[in-house]
Chain A
Amino acid sequence: MAAFTLAASGDHWFSALALGVTLLKCLLIPTYHSTDFEVHRNWLAITHSLPISQWYYEATSEWTLDYPPFFAWFEYALSHIAKYFDQEMLNIHNLNYFSSRTLLFQRFSVILTDALFFYAVHECCKCIDGKKTSKELTEKPKFILSVLLLWNFGLLIVDHIHFQYNGFLSGLMLLSIARLFQKRHMEGAFLFAVLLHFKHIYLYVAPAYGIYLLRSYCFTASKPDGTVRWDSFSFVRVISLGLIVFLVSALSLGPFIALNQMPQVFSRLFPFKRGLCHAYWAPNFWALYNALDKALSVIGLELKFLDPNQIPRASMTSGLVQQFQHTVLPSVSPLATLICTLIAILPSVFCLWFKPQGPRGFLRCLVLCALSSFMFGWHVHEKAILLAILPMSILSVEKAGDATIFLILTTTGHYSLFPLLFTAPELPIKILLMLLFTVYSISSLKTLFRKEKPLFNWMETVYLLGLGPLEVCCEFIFPLTSWKLKYPFIPLLLTSVYCAVGITYAWARLYVSVLTGCFVSKTKKQ
């Protein structure tokens, strides 16, 4: 639909790509959907049939509303279309209600709201410099970037199989990034503020936005060596930015402040009662930490350093329960993860402040923020990796070094999404789509940077190729072995630890490249 309107602008190939992926999404309608399907149906029912004062109190279903108000309003708007499809899905007490019309409505709501994502991708493609543009269409960075974003494997399976609304939310983020690239800072800030009130997970990247807008927009000039000129501070700009953020927040949270419900809203938005890791460990630092703890405890038991009676029971079935108790290493509290995250984010933010490198520097900082929070955050979902992968795509088509990091990050990040789809009919789909995206991303970026040195060294090649045997072991061989009943968590554990290695590596490499870029250019100038 959006594709048709874009067709008018003369980008024939872009509309073909968008239309193609839309049709693929339509084909995915009958696939498996997770409990998130019921979550969103329940939210439709809550917002449709209850007054606003009840939204954050309603608890008939266990899937209570835990997104910020704009998302609730979004569901409210959807529910007014939903009633023409099936009135029954809007009843709060119809728990786990399902009908084919409900399915069609919910799936199409995701597919159609992706129009915003298409538009954002279209805008992002305008921001890349096409200096070394090849004549061949399929070798143009623009074309490659639009395929990487539009046909992103993660978005396809998380949104259109697993069921979530990441498409239009990522669209908002990409659009605000594109606006910052186009020097339309106010619009970018506005879009990001709106996005924050749709889904608060984007708080992870807020530091990058805050510092960038302050440094490069509120200070209108820099000294020749790149440091800030304090006298160039523009009060008008700060106030207008502040006003925008304030107005958006007031619009979103205002009604709840008026109703005096803020503590309740916040307790829903930030549920710290959940465990350090999700049932399936997201492939981050804590997965490595848990695995190390596990290994140490096993070694300890073998060598009789530990007393078997003192080991908590739950840790024996780790990976299946939410609460993971560490046996050897110290347990981790939410505050500790918060401090770790802040420490991990700080260097990149400092870099953005002391050595601003335009919107590209900002984008790097944003990716680093997203990745660092993914690495050290409390109760991180594996899906949160998309937050880093999508903006990283823009960087990947501009520099060979970034392309390498992007490919490692995407391939491992996408592979770590595999446990989301555990049903047999979806097994071929996820493997085929993953291969499709991986083969395309690797070979197209290789073609794009063929004049430079090879993208991967032997270690990285071996690591990435290792994903193949890992998949075969986890999903084809393991279910046939006798360990399936005794240690059912092993495939998940292997997957998350293996992917954690790759993601940590990508994070470290990106950090090194940002920091060296920061210091080298500084010393050069001096």
Chain B
Amino acid sequence: MENWYWMTLVVLIGLTVRWTVSLNPYSGAGKPPMFGDYEAQRHWQEITFNLPVKDWYFNSSDNNLQYWGLDYPPLTAYHSLLCAYVAEFINPDWVALHTSRGYESQAHKLFMRTTVLVADLFIYIPAVLLYCYSLKEISPKRKMAVALCILLYPGLILIDYGHFQDIYNSVSLGFALWGVLGVSYDWDLLGSLAFCLALNYKQMELYHSLPFFCFLLGKCFKKVTFKIACTVLASFLLCWLPFFTEREHALQVLRRLFPVDRGLFEDKVANIWCSVNVFLKIKEILPRHIQLAISFCLTFLSLLPACIKLTLQPSSKGFRFTLVSCALSFFLFSFQVHEKSILLVSLPVCLVLNEIPFMSTWFLLVSTFSMLPLLLKDELLMPSVVTVMAFLVVCVTSFPLCESTSEEQLQLTPFAVSVRRRLPGFTFLPRIIQYLFLSSVITMVLLTILSVTLNPPQKLPDLFSVLVCSVSCINFIFFLVYFNIVIVWDSKNGRNRKKIK
């Protein structure tokens, strides 16, 4: 009874913050001719509503792919279609073919914001609540605290409700979370179904696919089951059914989904390529197929240790940590990454919030900071600062952050023990991490203040955004190393514990 009311309060706070952020401007508001991601989403509603399924992904006189052509998998298109039906019911002008381009009004903004809130309310929020509710070995209060922290994670709120990304992150991440829930609690079929839905909503969910695959594979070694394979195949077939009429059609959809010819990276993104680009213009030196090969190899190598570990020793905890490290590897090394893809890393980090509150909070702050140039462009400074502070306040009150930097709480004990065998004086790890945290936070605050107050020099108009990206990238590399250490040494820890028992 009592838990029930705390849960209601947590959801209400989450919803209130979401809706208040949504009162702010969205990307590309009043900026013709291309507008922004908001217009992309509205345009897809127009396309899916007015054109037959077979024309959605093809260039035609009614569907100019240069103007926000559909470049997400079918489930996104179906969702747009559903929203379009509601839009048409309220005001047909919103989805009229051709004439509705660049349509903007208060009522329409309200409608678009509501669609996000509804999707969030039905997919993401229940998954978060169920996840926190099923956490083991912690008090109900702590469960609620974790739920509140996850629901108040500023990155997702700002991108979905402020910036208004063309894809509803809460839906794809929500499905992925249902997948995690299913797989961790041995409802493998439900889990793989949910994850397939996520994958068919947003192809970037591939970042999470390897851990899912490895975890399920590891489980299958113990008890062979073909049901999972059938579920995966069936759900894919169902989503892609309208596109299987012709071979060319399916290929075109795939080409739209993976636009290899758009280059190694676009805009400013906090990954390796963009940061290296400051010193070395890779895009111009190397031909495209070599770029592709290098990025593929690096990604593969960086996620290999975690994936092998997971396949050999599948555990629910290892699964969540591997999700983090794989998504992070993809974000740092893979081809054509968007700055908003960091949300795909943030979701699994939210899931380990309970185990390593200090590192998770730190990571979530950095991830929000890495999107600063984008948020500034959308005039979302005020809600960004406020939600970040609110998140920090909630985290600090829920978890005693300052006291949770011991080796034990950072899950680094096995690593430190094994290093100490060679290097007996190795006891300064927590101290180092505290200093790193402080310097990272100070850099972030300073850079934020600088990029808000100062105008960059004329020769270097992108100075601050490049700095923001590089600083975040360095942080992310550190996190990648940290998470890999935790994953690789974790099994030994398990064995040690067994020995003690």
Contact = CB atoms under 8 A, between A and B. Distances in A.
A16 B393 contact: yes
B383 interface: yes
Contact of A29 (B13, B15, B117, B382): B382
Contact of B12 (A26, A27, A31, A435): A435
B24 A30 contact: yes
Contacts of A425: 23, 106, 110
A428 B393 contact: no
Contacts of A432: 12, 15-16, 19
B91 interface: no
A226 B295 CA distance: 88
A12 interface: yes
Interface in A343-397: none
A27 B19 CA distance: 10
B397 A31 contact: no
Contacts of B428: none
A37 to B, nearest CB: 16
Given A31-B20, A436-B12, A19 B393 contact: yes
B27 to A, nearest CB: 16
B386 A443 contact: no
Given A27-B21, A443-B2, 13 more contacts: A19-B389, A20-B393, A20-B394, A27-B17, A28-B20, A30-B24, A428-B15, A429-B16, A432-B15, A436-B13, A439-B5, A439-B8, A439-B9
Contacts of A439: 5, 8-9, 12
29 contacts: A12-B397, A16-B396, A19-B389, A20-B390, A20-B393, A20-B394, A23-B386, A23-B389, A24-B20, A26-B386, A27-B20, A28-B20, A29-B382, A30-B23, A31-B20, A424-B107, A424-B110, A428-B19, A429-B19, A432-B12, A432-B16, A432-B19, A435-B8, A435-B12, A439-B5, A439-B8, A440-B5, A440-B9, A443-B2
B397 A16 contact: yes
Nearest to A26: B386
A433 interface: yes
Interface in B344-402: 382-383, 386-387, 389-390, 393-394, 396-397
B16 A436 contact: yes
Given A27-B386, A440-B9, A429 B20 contact: yes
A34 interface: no
The 5 closest A-B pairs by CB, nearest first: A27-B20, A443-B5, A436-B12, A16-B397, A23-B390
Nearest to B4: A443
A27 B383 contact: yes
Nearest to B394: A20
Nearest to A18: B393
Contacts of A27: 17, 20-21, 383, 386-387
Contacts of B106: 424-425
Interface in A25-79: 26-31
B14 to A, nearest CB: 10
Interface in A404-447: 424-425, 428-429, 432-433, 435-436, 439-440, 443, 447
A436 B397 contact: no
Interface in A3-23: 12-13, 16, 19-20, 23
Contacts of A443: 2, 5
Contacts of B8: 435, 439
A436 B397 CA distance: 20
Contacts of B394: 20
A435 B12 CA distance: 8
A436 B110 contact: no
Contacts of A13: 397
Interface in A217-237: none
Contacts of B390: 20, 23-24
Interface in B1-43: 2, 5, 8-9, 12-13, 15-17, 19-21, 23-24
Interface in B178-195: none
A443 B9 CA distance: 10
A150 B59 CA distance: 57
Contacts of A429: 16, 19-20
A26 B382 contact: yes
A13 B16 CA distance: 21
Nearest to A137: B141
A134 to B, nearest CB: 12
B401 to A, nearest CB: 12
A31 B24 CA distance: 9
A138 B383 CA distance: 29
Nearest to B383: A27
A275 B123 CA distance: 51
Nearest to B25: A30
A307 B21 CA distance: 56
A443 B383 CA distance: 30
Contacts of A138: 141
B16 A31 contact: no
Interface in B199-219: none
Given A29-B382, A439-B8, A447-B2, A24 B24 contact: no
Report which residue of B20, B117, B396 has the largest number of chain A beta carbons within 10 angstroms of its beta carbon.
B20
Contacts of B21: 27
Contacts of B397: 12-13, 16
A198 B464 CA distance: 47
Report which residue of B107, B117, B389 has the largest number of chain A beta carbons within 10 angstroms of its beta carbon.
B389
B398 to A, nearest CB: 9
B16 A433 contact: yes
B23 A31 contact: yes
Report which residue of A23, A28, A424, A435 has the largest number of chain B beta carbons within 10 angstroms of its beta carbon.
A23
B394 to A, nearest CB: 8
A26 to B, nearest CB: 5
Nearest to A19: B393
B133 to A, nearest CB: 18
B118 to A, nearest CB: 11
A447 B6 CA distance: 12
A443 B7 CA distance: 12
Contacts of B396: 16
A64 to B, nearest CB: 32
Contact of A23 (B23, B110, B141, B393): B393
A152 to B, nearest CB: 15
A89 B23 CA distance: 24
Report which residue of A12, A13, A439 has the largest number of chain B beta carbons within 10 angstroms of its beta carbon.
A439
A28 B237 CA distance: 46
A428 B114 CA distance: 10
A22 B196 CA distance: 42
Interface string A152-189: 00000000000000000000000000000000000000
Interface string B36-78: 0000000000000000000000000000000000000000000
Contacts of A16: 393, 396-397
Contact of B16 (A12, A24, A29, A440): A24
B348 to A, nearest CB: 26
A277 B382 CA distance: 40
Nearest to B400: A12
Interface string B71-113: 0000000000000000000000000000000000011001000
Given A27-B21, A30-B23, A429-B20, A436 B386 contact: no
Contacts of B15: 428, 432
Nearest to A433: B16
A140 B156 CA distance: 34
A23 B21 CA distance: 12
Contacts of A447: 2
A195 to B, nearest CB: 31
Contacts of B387: 23, 27
Interface in B468-482: none
Nearest to B22: A425
A260 B386 CA distance: 49
Contacts of B9: 436, 439-440
A330 B157 CA distance: 57
B246 to A, nearest CB: 45
B403 to A, nearest CB: 13
